[in-house]
Structure 1
């Protein structure tokens, strides 16, 4: 396999970002929840106030072939009050099935770890669906430690509307 190239997304990649997100949603059996559009990506990742960033991994399927988008990571900064430093939060990581097992996911994770260090982040974290055992084992093999004592709470849709209106 050829080396893996990493590059940041640009506004011209909005369609590609949407494709990766929808492929991830399909894999996670959540396609019905993926209502993202190119317009939303352009506004929220490349607009006046970017809320997240994306990097792509490019590689060829075989030596001599053209490098193609093989994986994507979407991330943003959060903040640790206890550390007094920003953190890097990986929202989505997706590698196309035909590129799995070739180091693409690891390369994306390593790139983000280096970026977190460069930006003086105190931590780098993400969540994984409990049934996704292959990913959980992969992350733990890289040194990630699951924090099962922390339970995610979410307010969305009508509940978010109602809370905001109180």
Structure 2
């Protein structure tokens, strides 16, 4: 391999690989697997409109293998009356952590926020994921204690 790993914006050709990584991420977090048509759903969110609803950055090794991703989207804070960038996911495959790719993904997410004129990035991670918490705290992030709820909408 020549060159260095890099972070770049996802392309349509990356969708199946991103869906695989999302499945690994869900398994890592002991969550339900993603929907079978995830790649198609992500295509609409990432590439299906003039202004994408979702942004995705991928971590790529010098040989072209995509080994991680981060997704983010602008959201609103009612209390502050402003938008912020919500990072929904950041994941690197086992064996690719500790190489600087996580920091590179975070830098790219911060650049997305700056490019949108936003002054803050928010995210969450499972309380049991001590490695992620240490990583985020090394970057200067501080945790806020909250519970996250989910309620299916009945049709």
Q: Show the counterpart of 1:26.
A: 27
Q: Show the counterpart of 1:155.
A: 151
Q: Scaled by the length of structure 1, what TM-score is found?
A: 0.81
How far 1:43 sits from its partner (Å)? 2.4
> Greater relative contact order (Cα 8 A, min sep 6): structure 1 or 2?
2
Q: Scaled by the length of structure 2, what TM-score is found?
A: 0.87
| 1:87 pairs with 2:84 | yes
| 1:108 pairs with 2:110 | no
Within the candidate set 122, 137, 151, 1:125 is matched to 122
Q: Show the counterpart of 2:47.
A: 46
Moved over 4 A (4+): none
Q: CA RMSD in A?
A: 2.0
SS in 2 for 1:57: strand
Q: Show the counterpart of 2:58.
A: 56
Flag structure 1 segments of 5+ consecutive residues without an equivalent. 61-65
What is the CA–CA distance in structure 1 between the aligned matches of 2:143 and 2:115, rounded to whole Å? 24
Which has the higher Rg, Structure 1 or Structure 2? 1
Flag structure 2 segments of 5+ consecutive residues without an equivalent. none
What is the CA–CA distance in structure 2 between the aligned matches of 1:76 and 1:13, rounded to whole Å? 19
What is the CA–CA distance in structure 2 between the aligned matches of 1:138 and 1:89, rounded to whole Å? 18
**Higher helix residue share:** 1
Q: Residues 66-85 of structure 1 correspond to what in structure 2 (within 5 A)?
A: 66-85=63-82
Residues 114 and 44 (structure 1 numbering): CA distance in 2 closer, same or farther, change over 3 Å?
closer
What is the CA–CA distance in structure 2 between the aligned matches of 1:122 and 1:36, rounded to whole Å? 35
What is the CA–CA distance in structure 2 between the aligned matches of 1:33 and 1:3, rounded to whole Å? 32
How far 1:40 sits from its partner (Å)? 1.6
How far 1:116 sits from its partner (Å)? 1.1
